[in-house]
A = this chain, B = another copy of it.
């Protein structure tokens, strides 16, 4: 287990806001980015948290590869739809604002869908789908991303890990939050095995010849090798994961007129814009049936699943999002956990970023 430090949420948020402002990001926008990143850490999705502050954002901002002003342009709009150009700004900023607009539209028109092009990495997909919950709506959030996944029978990365997030409100239970990459695992998971010098399970990745490999060193971001889509091989129906990834890319990149597949830039490739696209939807439950009835029925669904018979080795059946809510409750109380190494890296980067990290951990 790597060393964890715990910080006050306000302290980390304050740092991330200062960091973003240093790159010319307006305070309101900086607060959005900070909240998306730190929400990831609080929920235990640390791969998408503060670890990316400089690697995904600071570095690109300092090289002028992200527009700090996020000059959003509405390309087309109706009562129920919106196509937005993200102006090569921060993915979190345009996504937050567009999901807000979706919710406003759904208040009046019951459903709304929006697609965004010319953007950058937006962090955890679930942040935006969850925004719908307090309005008693179902929220959907999708994004394409840099090519890391091979299609079935392909041997090079062509598709992104293109996540799907779906959030639905419940009554007394945790809301249902699906937030899943459409690859078997994200590339970060492969790197964890590489660092530990452990083999990866067959079905996670392929080598340069397209053969399944248990060697994490043969599955690299940008190739050689590639991630496998959810399912893995054709016999395990990996083409379904591939099909879902393509569905996400069509709703994000194609519906928006943005980029698809291999045209999307890597966060560490400073020679081209990321050109990432997103898709959002909001559904007002009340338009179909009374919200409280829906919520109570979702509680019943959760109970039915959790009370169903379990295998001997496990005494609990999980619902998507449940672990993350439990993490959040613990971390809100005991402090936001950040790997010591991430803090070390942020401190090392100070010379370049010019934003000293002088926050003390609380444990």
Contact = CB atoms under 8 A, between A and B. Distances in A.
Interface of A: 75-76, 78-81, 83, 109-113, 115, 138, 151-156, 158, 164, 166, 168, 176, 178, 180, 184-185, 201, 203, 209-211, 230-232, 235-237, 239-244, 246-247, 249-251, 253-257, 260-262, 283-285, 287-289, 293-294, 297-298, 300-301, 304-305, 308-314, 316-320
Contacts of A283: 113, 255
Contacts of A320: 239, 242-243, 246
Given A176-B246, A239-B320, A261-B301, A156 B309 contact: yes
Contact of A318 (B110, B152, B156, B249): B152
Contacts of A241: 230-231
B80 A110 contact: yes
B211 A168 contact: no
Contacts of A298: 250, 254
A81 to B, nearest CB: 4
Given A109-B109, A152-B317, A178-B243, 10 more contacts: A80-B109, A83-B288, A111-B111, A111-B112, A153-B311, A166-B247, A184-B237, A185-B237, A257-B289, A257-B294
Contacts of A287: 76, 78, 80-81
A209 B211 CA distance: 33
A158 B308 contact: yes
A41 to B, nearest CB: 22
A129 B231 CA distance: 23
Contacts of A288: 76, 81, 83, 115, 255-256
B231 A297 contact: no
A250 B170 CA distance: 11
B210 A312 contact: yes
B111 A156 contact: no
Rank and list the top 10 A-B pairs by shortest CB-CB distance, nearest first. A210-B311, A153-B314, A243-B320, A81-B287, A178-B243, A180-B240, A83-B288, A166-B247, A80-B111, A158-B308
Contact of A294 (B79, B156, B254): B254
A202 B232 CA distance: 13
Given A158-B304, A166-B247, A316 B254 contact: no
B209 A318 contact: no
Contacts of A294: 254-255, 257
20 contacts: A78-B110, A81-B111, A115-B288, A138-B250, A138-B251, A138-B255, A153-B310, A154-B305, A155-B311, A156-B309, A164-B244, A168-B254, A176-B250, A178-B247, A184-B237, A232-B236, A255-B285, A255-B288, A257-B294, A260-B304
B151 A236 contact: no
A232 B319 CA distance: 16
Contacts of A239: 318, 320
A156 B232 contact: no
A305 B243 contact: no
A306 to B, nearest CB: 9
Given A176-B246, A240-B230, A318-B239, A304 B261 contact: yes
Given A113-B283, A250-B176, A153 B318 contact: yes
Nearest to A319: B246
Contacts of A305: 151, 154, 158, 246, 261
A29 to B, nearest CB: 25
A257 B297 contact: yes
